Amino acid sequence: MIRDITIGQYYPANSYIHKLDPRMKLLGTLLFIISLFIANNIWGYAVALVYLSSIIIISKVPLRFMLKGLKAIFIIIILTVVLNLFFTKGENLLYKLGSIEIYEEGLYFATMMAIRLIFLIIGSSILTLTTSPIQLTDGIEYSLNPLKRIKVPAHEIAMMMTIALRFIPILLEETDKIMKAQMARGADFESGGIVKRAKSLIPLLVPLFISAFRRADDLALAMEARCYRGGEGRTRMKQLRYSKYDLIAIIVLVVYITILIIL
Protein backbone atom coordinates (compact mmCIF):
# COMPACT_ATOMS: atom_id res chain seq x y z
CA MET A 1 0.00 0.00 0.00
CA ILE A 2 2.83 2.40 0.87
CA ARG A 3 4.50 1.97 -2.52
CA ASP A 4 1.21 2.43 -4.37
CA ILE A 5 1.15 6.22 -3.91
CA THR A 6 2.26 7.76 -7.21
CA ILE A 7 1.84 11.48 -6.41
CA GLY A 8 5.26 13.16 -6.45
CA GLN A 9 6.94 10.51 -8.60
CA TYR A 10 8.38 11.19 -12.05
CA TYR A 11 8.08 8.68 -14.88
CA PRO A 12 10.63 9.44 -17.66
CA ALA A 13 9.35 8.89 -21.20
CA ASN A 14 9.59 10.43 -24.65
CA SER A 15 6.05 11.71 -25.19
CA TYR A 16 4.34 14.90 -26.33
CA ILE A 17 3.01 15.44 -22.79
CA HIS A 18 6.55 15.32 -21.39
CA LYS A 19 7.62 17.92 -23.98
CA LEU A 20 4.94 20.43 -22.99
CA ASP A 21 5.94 23.55 -21.11
CA PRO A 22 5.43 23.02 -17.34
CA ARG A 23 3.36 26.22 -17.19
CA MET A 24 1.00 24.72 -19.75
CA LYS A 25 0.74 21.50 -17.75
CA LEU A 26 0.02 23.43 -14.54
CA LEU A 27 -2.73 25.39 -16.29
CA GLY A 28 -4.12 22.24 -17.89
CA THR A 29 -4.21 20.39 -14.55
CA LEU A 30 -5.95 23.33 -12.84
CA LEU A 31 -8.56 23.64 -15.60
CA PHE A 32 -9.13 19.87 -15.62
CA ILE A 33 -9.82 19.90 -11.87
CA ILE A 34 -12.24 22.81 -12.35
CA SER A 35 -13.90 20.94 -15.23
CA LEU A 36 -14.69 18.02 -12.93
CA PHE A 37 -16.85 20.38 -10.88
CA ILE A 38 -18.42 21.87 -14.01
CA ALA A 39 -19.57 18.44 -15.20
CA ASN A 40 -22.88 17.60 -13.53
CA ASN A 41 -24.22 14.74 -15.65
CA ILE A 42 -23.10 11.44 -17.10
CA TRP A 43 -22.33 12.98 -20.50
CA GLY A 44 -19.96 15.50 -18.95
CA TYR A 45 -18.04 12.74 -17.18
CA ALA A 46 -18.00 10.70 -20.40
CA VAL A 47 -16.26 13.60 -22.16
CA ALA A 48 -13.85 13.92 -19.21
CA LEU A 49 -13.12 10.19 -19.46
CA VAL A 50 -12.33 10.46 -23.18
CA TYR A 51 -10.09 13.50 -22.55
CA LEU A 52 -8.26 11.86 -19.62
CA SER A 53 -7.83 8.56 -21.49
CA SER A 54 -6.32 10.41 -24.45
CA ILE A 55 -3.85 12.22 -22.18
CA ILE A 56 -2.80 8.93 -20.54
CA ILE A 57 -2.25 7.25 -23.93
CA ILE A 58 -0.24 10.19 -25.29
CA SER A 59 1.87 10.45 -22.10
CA LYS A 60 3.07 6.82 -22.51
CA VAL A 61 2.76 6.28 -18.76
CA PRO A 62 1.39 2.76 -18.08
CA LEU A 63 -2.25 2.82 -17.02
CA ARG A 64 -1.66 0.24 -14.27
CA PHE A 65 1.02 2.53 -12.81
CA MET A 66 -1.57 5.32 -12.51
CA LEU A 67 -4.33 3.05 -11.22
CA LYS A 68 -1.90 1.79 -8.57
CA GLY A 69 -2.11 5.23 -6.97
CA LEU A 70 -5.84 4.76 -6.34
CA LYS A 71 -5.19 2.00 -3.80
CA ALA A 72 -3.91 4.57 -1.30
CA ILE A 73 -7.21 6.51 -1.38
CA PHE A 74 -9.50 3.48 -1.66
CA ILE A 75 -10.82 4.02 1.88
CA ILE A 76 -11.56 7.70 1.14
CA ILE A 77 -13.47 6.72 -2.02
CA ILE A 78 -15.50 4.10 -0.14
CA LEU A 79 -16.24 6.55 2.70
CA THR A 80 -17.38 9.21 0.20
CA VAL A 81 -19.66 6.72 -1.57
CA VAL A 82 -21.19 5.50 1.70
CA LEU A 83 -21.85 9.01 3.03
CA ASN A 84 -23.53 10.12 -0.20
CA LEU A 85 -25.43 6.87 -0.60
CA PHE A 86 -27.01 6.74 2.86
CA PHE A 87 -27.30 10.42 3.77
CA THR A 88 -28.55 11.94 0.51
CA LYS A 89 -32.33 12.08 0.56
CA GLY A 90 -34.59 12.34 -2.46
CA GLU A 91 -37.97 11.50 -3.88
CA ASN A 92 -37.40 8.07 -5.43
CA LEU A 93 -36.86 5.45 -2.71
CA LEU A 94 -34.96 2.40 -4.00
CA TYR A 95 -34.36 0.36 -0.84
CA LYS A 96 -35.32 0.50 2.82
CA LEU A 97 -34.22 -1.67 5.72
CA GLY A 98 -35.22 -0.27 9.09
CA SER A 99 -33.76 3.21 9.37
CA ILE A 100 -31.49 2.66 6.36
CA GLU A 101 -32.88 4.28 3.21
CA ILE A 102 -31.29 4.43 -0.22
CA TYR A 103 -32.68 6.91 -2.73
CA GLU A 104 -32.05 7.16 -6.44
CA GLU A 105 -30.57 10.62 -5.92
CA GLY A 106 -28.17 9.26 -3.29
CA LEU A 107 -27.01 6.49 -5.63
CA TYR A 108 -26.50 9.04 -8.40
CA PHE A 109 -24.46 11.47 -6.24
CA ALA A 110 -22.41 8.62 -4.75
CA THR A 111 -21.45 7.40 -8.22
CA MET A 112 -20.64 10.90 -9.47
CA MET A 113 -18.46 11.69 -6.42
CA ALA A 114 -16.52 8.43 -6.78
CA ILE A 115 -15.86 9.14 -10.47
CA ARG A 116 -14.86 12.72 -9.67
CA LEU A 117 -12.34 11.62 -7.01
CA ILE A 118 -10.80 8.97 -9.28
CA PHE A 119 -10.45 11.41 -12.18
CA LEU A 120 -9.02 14.09 -9.88
CA ILE A 121 -6.30 11.82 -8.47
CA ILE A 122 -5.29 10.42 -11.87
CA GLY A 123 -5.36 13.87 -13.51
CA SER A 124 -3.19 15.36 -10.75
CA SER A 125 -0.75 12.44 -10.91
CA ILE A 126 -0.12 13.05 -14.61
CA LEU A 127 1.40 16.45 -13.75
CA THR A 128 4.15 15.03 -11.53
CA LEU A 129 4.60 11.84 -13.57
CA THR A 130 5.38 13.80 -16.75
CA THR A 131 7.25 16.80 -15.27
CA SER A 132 10.73 16.67 -13.79
CA PRO A 133 11.33 18.41 -10.42
CA ILE A 134 13.40 21.21 -12.00
CA GLN A 135 10.77 21.91 -14.66
CA LEU A 136 8.02 21.84 -12.06
CA THR A 137 9.90 24.35 -9.88
CA ASP A 138 10.47 26.70 -12.82
CA GLY A 139 6.86 26.37 -13.95
CA ILE A 140 5.46 27.20 -10.52
CA GLU A 141 7.88 30.12 -10.13
CA TYR A 142 7.00 31.61 -13.51
CA SER A 143 3.30 31.23 -12.70
CA LEU A 144 3.78 33.09 -9.41
CA ASN A 145 5.93 35.87 -10.90
CA PRO A 146 3.07 38.44 -11.01
CA LEU A 147 2.86 38.14 -7.20
CA LYS A 148 6.40 39.51 -6.86
CA ARG A 149 4.96 43.00 -7.26
CA ILE A 150 3.35 42.63 -3.84
CA LYS A 151 6.56 41.21 -2.31
CA VAL A 152 5.53 37.55 -2.46
CA PRO A 153 8.64 35.28 -2.58
CA ALA A 154 7.65 33.34 -5.70
CA HIS A 155 10.89 31.37 -6.04
CA GLU A 156 10.95 30.27 -2.40
CA ILE A 157 7.30 29.18 -2.51
CA ALA A 158 7.89 27.22 -5.73
CA MET A 159 10.97 25.57 -4.24
CA MET A 160 9.14 24.54 -1.06
CA MET A 161 6.18 23.11 -3.02
CA THR A 162 8.47 21.10 -5.29
CA ILE A 163 10.58 19.78 -2.41
CA ALA A 164 7.40 18.79 -0.56
CA LEU A 165 6.18 16.87 -3.62
CA ARG A 166 9.52 15.14 -4.09
CA PHE A 167 9.69 14.20 -0.41
CA ILE A 168 6.44 12.22 -0.66
CA PRO A 169 7.90 9.16 -2.47
CA ILE A 170 11.13 9.42 -0.45
CA LEU A 171 9.29 9.33 2.88
CA LEU A 172 7.03 6.53 1.65
CA GLU A 173 10.08 4.48 0.73
CA GLU A 174 11.58 5.21 4.16
CA THR A 175 8.32 4.17 5.83
CA ASP A 176 8.35 0.90 3.89
CA LYS A 177 11.92 0.19 5.03
CA ILE A 178 11.06 0.89 8.68
CA MET A 179 7.97 -1.34 8.48
CA LYS A 180 9.97 -4.22 7.02
CA ALA A 181 12.68 -3.79 9.67
CA GLN A 182 10.10 -3.89 12.47
CA MET A 183 8.24 -6.83 10.88
CA ALA A 184 11.54 -8.73 10.87
CA ARG A 185 11.62 -8.14 14.64
CA GLY A 186 8.10 -9.51 15.15
CA ALA A 187 5.90 -6.45 14.62
CA ASP A 188 2.44 -7.10 13.14
CA PHE A 189 0.89 -4.41 10.90
CA GLU A 190 -1.67 -6.47 8.98
CA SER A 191 -3.80 -8.48 11.42
CA GLY A 192 -6.74 -7.14 13.45
CA GLY A 193 -9.29 -4.43 12.77
CA ILE A 194 -8.80 -0.92 11.54
CA VAL A 195 -8.26 0.51 15.05
CA LYS A 196 -5.67 -2.13 15.96
CA ARG A 197 -3.83 -1.69 12.68
CA ALA A 198 -3.81 2.09 13.15
CA LYS A 199 -2.36 1.72 16.66
CA SER A 200 0.33 -0.62 15.34
CA LEU A 201 1.56 2.17 13.06
CA ILE A 202 2.29 4.53 15.98
CA PRO A 203 5.81 3.07 16.61
CA LEU A 204 6.67 4.09 13.02
CA LEU A 205 6.22 7.78 13.73
CA VAL A 206 9.34 8.38 15.84
CA PRO A 207 11.92 6.84 13.45
CA LEU A 208 10.07 8.35 10.48
CA PHE A 209 10.20 11.88 11.96
CA ILE A 210 13.88 11.44 12.83
CA SER A 211 14.60 10.30 9.26
CA ALA A 212 12.59 13.20 7.78
CA PHE A 213 14.42 15.81 9.87
CA ARG A 214 17.78 14.22 9.03
CA ARG A 215 17.01 14.33 5.31
CA ALA A 216 15.83 17.94 5.58
CA ASP A 217 19.04 18.90 7.42
CA ASP A 218 21.20 17.12 4.80
CA LEU A 219 19.32 18.91 2.03
CA ALA A 220 19.82 22.30 3.69
CA LEU A 221 23.56 21.65 4.12
CA ALA A 222 23.85 20.55 0.49
CA MET A 223 22.08 23.70 -0.74
CA GLU A 224 24.30 25.93 1.43
CA ALA A 225 27.42 24.12 0.18
CA ARG A 226 26.35 25.03 -3.35
CA CYS A 227 25.90 28.69 -2.35
CA TYR A 228 22.12 28.63 -2.76
CA ARG A 229 20.72 32.04 -1.81
CA GLY A 230 17.19 31.93 -3.21
CA GLY A 231 15.98 33.20 -6.56
CA GLU A 232 17.78 36.56 -6.48
CA GLY A 233 20.27 36.69 -9.37
CA ARG A 234 19.71 33.04 -10.23
CA THR A 235 20.17 32.00 -13.86
CA ARG A 236 18.84 28.93 -15.65
CA MET A 237 20.58 26.63 -18.07
CA LYS A 238 17.28 25.95 -19.88
CA GLN A 239 14.81 28.78 -20.35
CA LEU A 240 11.13 27.94 -20.57
CA ARG A 241 9.70 28.56 -24.03
CA TYR A 242 6.31 27.74 -25.47
CA SER A 243 6.29 25.51 -28.56
CA LYS A 244 3.80 24.33 -31.16
CA TYR A 245 2.85 21.46 -28.84
CA ASP A 246 1.67 23.97 -26.25
CA LEU A 247 -0.46 25.76 -28.85
CA ILE A 248 -2.10 22.47 -29.83
CA ALA A 249 -2.61 21.61 -26.15
CA ILE A 250 -4.34 24.91 -25.35
CA ILE A 251 -6.64 24.49 -28.37
CA VAL A 252 -7.61 20.98 -27.27
CA LEU A 253 -8.14 22.23 -23.71
CA VAL A 254 -10.40 25.07 -24.87
CA VAL A 255 -12.45 22.66 -27.01
CA TYR A 256 -12.78 20.27 -24.05
CA ILE A 257 -13.95 22.98 -21.64
CA THR A 258 -16.36 24.36 -24.26
CA ILE A 259 -17.97 20.95 -24.79
CA LEU A 260 -18.40 20.52 -21.03
CA ILE A 261 -20.05 23.93 -20.65
CA ILE A 262 -22.42 23.16 -23.55
CA LEU A 263 -23.36 19.82 -22.03
Per-residue pLDDT at 69: 67
Report how many domains make up the chain. 2
CA torsion 29-34-39-45 (nearest 10°) is 20
Does residue 197 lie in a domain region? yes
Same-domain check for residues 51 and 92: yes
| 46 located within any domain | yes
pLDDT, residue 202, reads 75
How much is the average pLDDT of 190-212? Answer: 74
Report residue 42 CA to chain centroid gap. Answer: 24
Q: Do 165 and 258 lie in a common domain?
A: no
Separation of alpha carbons 195 and 78, rounded Å: 17
117 shares a domain with 5: yes
pLDDT at 231: 63
Examine residue 146 and state whether it is found in any structural domain, yes or no: no
Is residue 137 in some structural domain? no
Report d(CA 45, CA 59) in Å as an integer: 21
pLDDT at 4 over 60: no
Statement to judge: residues 41 and 126 lie in one domain: yes
Residue 202's domain comprises 156-232
Predicted pLDDT of residue 8: 62
Q: Among 47-61, 77-91, 231-245, which range has the highest average pLDDT?
A: 47-61
Rounded mean pLDDT of 164-171?
76
Same domain, 1 and 94: yes
pTM over 0.75: no
136 in a structural domain: no
Inside any domain, residue 141: no
Spatial distance between the Cα atoms of 137 and 200, rounded to a whole number of angstroms: 37
Lowest-pLDDT range of 3-7, 68-72, 208-212, 258-262: 3-7
Shared domain for 97 and 32, answered yes or no, is yes
Together in a domain, 45 and 96: yes
Q: Is pLDDT above 60 for 3?
A: no
